[in-house]
Amino acid sequence: MVIIGAGPAGLVLGNLLLRRGIDCVVLERTGRDAGGKRARAGFLAAHTVRILARNGLDGGLRRRGREHSVCEFRTEDGRFRLDYRRLGRSEPHTVYPQHELVADLQEQFLVAGGRLHFDTEALAVTDADGPAPSVTAREADGRPRRWRARYVAACDGRHGAGRRSIPPGTVRRHHRDHGVTWLGLLAEAPPSMDAVGYALHPNGFAGHMARSAEITRYYLQCARGTRADAWTEERIWDELALRMRAADYGPLRRGPLLQRTVVDLESDVLEPLRHGSLFLVGDAAGLISPSAAKGANLAVLEAEVLAHALTDALAHGDPEPLDRYSERCLVHIWRAQEFSHWMVRLLHDASDTEGTSLFQERLRHSRLASLRTSSTQQDWFAENYVGI
C-alpha cells in the first residue's frame, strides 16, 4: 500500500493500517519538520476525537486540547451567543491545532515502525486501472523511484499527484468558487474573547478563533487578489477591531502576526472517490471551504473508513467495503458541503458572486434573525456545526 501525503488523512490512514498489520509506505513531499509547522485547522469534532481515541492516537490532544462550545455573532443589531453543547444533540469541539496533531501522528507512526519518506514528491500514479498500480516519485536526493503496490491512497490534497493522475472523463468534478477571500492570520496574542467570534460588518466578515492561551487565529474578508503582505499589521488590527466592534464589546489583545495566508473559499469534490486501485482521501477527495471547520474532520473520518475497507480487502479477502468506500464518504462530504455553503452565505455579503443585491442582503439578515430567535434553527445549527 502506498500513501501519498503525510497530512491528517495520510497519517491517520498509515497509523491505522500499521496497527492492523497492513504493509504501507507514506511518501511526503516536504521535510520532517514542515508538517508540524503548517498552521491550519484547530477545531476537531467530537467524532474525530473518538476516532483518534479508539485507535490510541489521542495522547497529545488529551493532554493539550481544550473543549470548546460557544460561538458569538456580532452584527449591527447587537450580539448573541450560542452554547452549542447545550443545543440539540450536539457536543463540544476540541481545540487542538492541526500542526500539533500532524506532529503527534507522525511521531506515533515512526515509533510504531512506519516507513515515512520525507522530501519525496510523488509525480504520478500509473496503471491505477489495474491490480498493480505504481507511484513514480522524486526522492530526497533528486533521483526518481518507482513504488509498486496493490493499492494507492492519494492523501496529497487538492493539487496533489493523485488527483492529477486520474484520466480526464473518468470521474466527475464538482467545483464551486464561493467568490469570497479570507486573509487568514495567526497572532501571537491571547484570545480576545471566550468564544469563537463571527463578526458581520459592512466592510466584510471578521473571525476570531482561539488556538491556545498564547495564539489566536483571526480571519478578515478581503478583496479577491489581495496579497498576503498587502496590509500593515496596524491596519490589520485596526480593521479587525472595527469589524469585531471592539469599541462596544471590548478591545482585541494585539500581538505580532506569525503567519498570513490568503484563502479563496472554494469547494471541489470528485465523484467517485476512486479510480481503479487509486483512492482519494481528505482534501484530495473533496476540498471544502474553511467556513465551518470541516476539512480536517472529514479527512480523519475518510481515513478510518478506508483503513477498515483496506483491511477487509487485504487481510480477509473481502473487497465489498472498498467498493462502498466512495458512496459512504460522499454522504458525509455532501452534508458538510451543504452546511459550509450555508455558513458562507450567512457570514458574507453575497455581492461578490451574485451581484450587489439588496434582496440577497435581506435574506442574509433574515437567516441570522432565525438563528438568533428560533430554538429549532439553533438545534439544527448545533448539530451541523459539530457533526460530520
Ligand X SMILES: Cc1cc2nc3c(=O)[nH]c(=O)nc-3n(C[C@H](O)[C@H](O)[C@H](O)COP(=O)(O)OP(=O)(O)OC[C@H]3O[C@@H](n4cnc5c(N)ncnc54)[C@H](O)[C@@H]3O)c2cc1C
- 133-172 positions binding ligand X, by CB under 6 A: 155-157, 160-161
Count of chain residues binding ligand X (CB under 6 A) = 37
- The region of 34-42, 57-65, 242-250, 306-314 touching ligand X under the rule CB under 6 A is 34-42
- Binding of ligand X by 97 (CB under 6 A): no
- The region of 37-45, 68-76, 243-251, 313-321 touching ligand X under the rule CB under 6 A is 37-45
Q: Which residues are the active-site residues?
A: 68, 198, 290, 294, 385
Q: Closer to ligand X at the Cβ: 239 or 245?
A: 239
Q: Closer to ligand X at the Cβ: 140 or 369?
A: 140
Minimum gap (Å) between residue 340 Cβ and ligand X: 10
- Binding of ligand X by 68 (CB under 6 A): no
Binding mask 255-294 for ligand X (x = CB under 6 A): ------x-x------------------xxx-----x--xx
Q: Closer to ligand X at the Cβ: 221 or 245?
A: 221
- The region of 2-10, 72-80, 193-201, 309-317 touching ligand X under the rule CB under 6 A is 2-10
Q: Closer to ligand X at the Cβ: 143 or 316?
A: 143
Q: Closer to ligand X at the Cβ: 245 or 293?
A: 293
3-state SS string over the chain? CEEECCCHHHHHHHHHHHHCCCCCEEECCCCCCCHHHCCCCCEECHHHHHHHHHCCCCHHHHHHCEEECEEEEEECCEEEEEEHHHCCCCCCEEECCHHHHHHHHHHHHHHCCCEEECCCEEEEEECCCCCCCEEEEECCCCCEEEEECCCEEECCCCCCHHHHCCCCCCCEEEEEEEEEEEEEEEECCCCCCCCEEEEEECCEEEEEEECCCCCEEEEEEECCCCCCCCCCHHHHHHHHHHHCCHHHHCCCCCCCEEEEEEEEEEEEEEECCEECCEEECHHHCEECCHHHCCHHHHHHHHHHHHHHHHHHHHHHCCCHHHHHHHHHHHHHHHHHHHHHHHHHHHHCCCHHHHCCCHHHHHHHHHHHHHHHHCHHHHHHHHHHHHCC
- Binding of ligand X by 4 (CB under 6 A): yes
- Binding of ligand X by 299 (CB under 6 A): yes
Q: Closer to ligand X at the Cβ: 299 or 347?
A: 299
Question: Out of 1, 2, 3, 10, which residue is the one contacting ligand X (CB under 6 A)?
Answer: 10
- Binding of ligand X by 27 (CB under 6 A): yes
Binding residues for ligand X (CB under 6 A): 4-10, 27-30, 35, 40-43, 98, 121-122, 155-157, 160-161, 184, 261, 263, 282-284, 290, 293-297, 299
